[in-house]
Chains A and B, each alone.
With several copies, the nearest count.
Chain A
Amino acid sequence: MKEIKNALVVDNKLISPNIYSMTLDIKDIAQKAKAGQFVNLYCKAESRLLPRPISICEIDKEKGRIVLVYGVVGKGTEEFGNIKRGESIEVLGPLGNGFMIDETKRKNIIVGGGLGTPPLVELVKHLKGEVDVYLGFRSQAMLIEEFEKIGARVHIATDDGLEGFKGNVLELLKNNNAVGDIIYSCGPKPMLKAVAGWAKNNNIPMQVSLEERMACGIGACVGCVCKVKEKDEQDWQHKKVCKDGPVFWSDEVVWDE
């Protein structure tokens, strides 16, 4: 039977303003997890009932550990940020379907935006061929070393130009004349939508990892939907991000918002 597990927090450190990297000792999840899957983290505060979905950033199957990188954006993530090494946290996972890794592609383009970047780290570890990682941030980049360690080329765009290219990640892709056989991406919906348009024009298949507010995280409540259509069809369905996703093909997604 599946169950919520109590995981030891091996590390929980600030890696960028308001952004933490938490390492959990949780063999069971580490063993099963795949790139692009997520976990439910549960708050201790009784007033906060719902789990917080957080993508798995790195998986260490040998040590039985996973790394989560999360931003403090509200009450729940604030609580997580205050957890000290040696304490524990309730966690459920791995949840959702990860990226559909295609090892046959020679040129992989990775597109990440802000807090959408973390799940791409584990992904890159499993790609064969060249990997170009394009990341967009408001002002400060993160996780660059993690990507470079794996041997990927990293290209940064920031809105204010503090690091790397000044502009958004789509402009950076165009500016660099990026070419590739496949795109894997995660980030804010407007960014994904824009890049999906570019991908379509350039005939590059693209996978997007979506976010939506969730209640159960396991497919029972039908809370976390996005509009998905069969390729080239008009009529769409509300599919569950938690169970049918979070990764979809960009040409399945109805980009109307």
Chain B
Amino acid sequence: MNKENLNLKVDIAGVELKNPITTASGTFGSGREYGEFIDLNQLGAVTVKGVSSIPWKGNPAPRIAETYGGMLNSVGLQNPGVEEFIKNDIPFLRQYDTKIIVNVAGKSIPEYCEVVERLSSADIDLIELNISCPNVKEGGVTFGTDVKMAHKVTKEVKRYAKQPLIVKLSPNVTDITEIARAVVEGGADAISLINTLLGMAIDIHKRKPILANVVGGFSGPAIKPVALRMVYQVAKAVSVPIIGMGGIATGEDAIEFLLAGAKAVAVGTANFRNPRASIDVLEGIKEYMKLYGIKSLDEIRAII
């Protein structure tokens, strides 16, 4: 309860967040940089960038392209590996009164399991499985676009996870509810969505793709209608808590996701335009609650 007497607490698979705001993995580093712009204590949780078992170099540059109301990235999950993460970033984040959600990347099931096993003994609150990584063993198809693979990787990883397991879905599928059901059956305690759409941009003067990797992940306000639709569909299809994201930049955007069925929301690309975006979203939610005399977010969640 804060001083306005608003109840912003949300429970994600047994972990209580003081409010429904987290950050979208990969857009917020491990919180250090944005911690110079906002008070991290104010966030319900910090979701850190994806970590893998060993350091990954990621894709070549250019990795960033701007599009109309959005952007593309082809960072390719560059990260220093789980050991470095545990050593450097957890102690930093634990200084703050916020929950830690660790996003996990892997190119094969054993690799995912290795990271999750290592994290199980670390001081973190929730694990978020990023199943949009290319599955090198199966020739590059991502785990997240195949029902069977999504189920299998969730099930295997779940055996190693001591913390509740969030599975993060890719929107690049024909039927998102099918994948959502598969990961819940596999043991997901919560679902987050959406990861980036697959997009492309071309430099017409150089006559080549802007990204060295040709295609990249499409995010930002432009994609919100797709994200919202998928959150709505998944909320109707499964009963685990949902963390909604995709283009959220204002409190109003966040309210749309809560109405559609999200329990919490993540702010991603918006941070790049406005380093205070996550706090602005939180303030916007509070204003909405005050405007309509809403005491608890349960009053409006999933009522659509």
A and B touch in the complex (CB under 8 A): yes
The digit string for A216-254, where 1 denotes a CB below 8 A from any CB of B, is: 111111111110000000000110000100000000000
Q: In the bound complex, how far is the Cα of B222 from the Cα of A46, in angstroms?
A: 11
The one of A1, A212, A222, A226 that contacts B36, using a Cβ cutoff of 8 Å: A1
Question: Are A223 and B70 interface neighbours, CB within 8 A?
Answer: no
A113 to B163, CA, bound (A): 53
A212: chain B residues within 8 A (beta carbon): 61-62
Q: Is the CB of B27 within 8 A of A220?
A: yes
> A42: which B residues are within 8 A, CB to CB?
273
Task: Give Cα A202–Cα B63 distance, bound, in whole angstroms.
Answer: 34
Query: Cβ of A194 < 8 Å from any Cβ of B?
Result: no
Q: Are A221 and B61 in contact (CB under 8 A)?
A: no
Q: Specify which chain B residues have a CB less than 8 angstroms from the CB of A225 in the assembled complex.
A: 58, 61, 63, 78
Q: List chain A residues, Cβ under 8 A from B58.
A: 222, 225, 238
Which residues 56-89 in B have Cβ within 8 Å of A in the complex?
Answer: 57-58, 61-66, 68-71, 73, 75, 78
Is A162 in contact with chain B by the CB < 8 A criterion? Answer: no
**In this assembly, does B271 line the interface, its C-beta being within 8 Å of a C-beta of chain A?**
yes
Beta-carbon contact of B269 and A224 below 8 Å: no
Count chain B residues whose beta carbon lies closer than 8 angstroms to a beta carbon of A: 37
**At the interface with chain B, which of A47-55, A122-130, A140-148?**
A47-55
Determine how close the nearest CB of chain A comes to the CB of B231; give it in whole angstroms.
21
**With contact pairs A1-B36, A47-B69 given, residues A220 and B271 touching in the complex (Cβ less than 8 Å):** yes
**Contact A3:B66 (CB < 8 A) given known A221-B26, A225-B61:** no
* Bound CA span A50–B65, Å: 9
B42 to chain A, nearest CB (A): 12
Decide: B69 and A46 in contact? CB cutoff 8 A.
yes
Q: How far is the CA of A226 from the CA of B272 in the complex (A)?
A: 20
Asked if B274 is at the interface of the complex by the 8 Å CB criterion, the answer is: yes
Specify which chain B residues have a CB less than 8 angstroms from the CB of A214 in the assembled complex: 64
A2-B272 contact, Cβ under 8 Å, with A223-B63, A224-B61:
no
> If A49-B220, A223-B73 touch, does A215 touch B61 (CB 8 Å cutoff)?
no
Tell me which of B26, B49, B70, B275 has the highest count of chain A C-beta atoms within 10 A of its own C-beta.
Answer: B275
For chain A, the count of residues having a C-beta within 8 Å of the partner chain is: 30
CA distance A48 to B272 in the complex (A): 11
- Contact of A84 with B by CB under 8 A: no
Give the distance in Å from the alpha carbon of A245 to the alpha carbon of B59 in the complex: 19
Chain B residue at minimum C-beta to C-beta distance from A216: B272
- A106 CB to nearest chain B CB (Å): 36
A222 and B49 contact, CB distance less than 8 A: yes
Q: Encode A1-26 as 1/0 by CB contact (under 8 A) with B.
A: 11110000000000000000000000
A213/B272 in contact, CB under 8 A: no
In the complex, the answer to whether A50 meets B38 with C-beta atoms within 8 Å is no
Q: Which residues of A contact B65 (CB under 8 A)?
A: 213
Instruction: Give which listed residue, B63, B70, B73, B78, contacts A49 with CB less than 8 A.
Output: B70
User: Across the interface, which residues of A come within 8 angstroms of B28, CB to CB?
Assistant: 220
- The 29 listed contacts between A and B (C-beta, < 8 Å) are A1-B36, A2-B37, A4-B275, A42-B273, A46-B69, A47-B68, A47-B69, A47-B221, A51-B272, A213-B61, A213-B62, A214-B64, A215-B64, A215-B269, A218-B36, A219-B32, A219-B33, A220-B34, A220-B272, A221-B26, A221-B27, A221-B64, A221-B73, A221-B272, A222-B58, A222-B78, A223-B73, A224-B63, A225-B63
Q: Which 4 A-B pairs have the closest CB atoms?
A: A220-B29, A223-B64, A220-B33, A213-B64
**A residues bordering B, Cβ < 8 Å?**
1-4, 42, 46-51, 92, 212-226, 237-238, 243
* Other contacts beyond A51-B272, A213-B65, A221-B272: 15, CB < 8 A: A3-B275, A49-B70, A49-B221, A50-B71, A216-B271, A217-B272, A219-B29, A220-B27, A220-B33, A221-B64, A223-B64, A226-B61, A238-B57, A238-B61, A243-B33
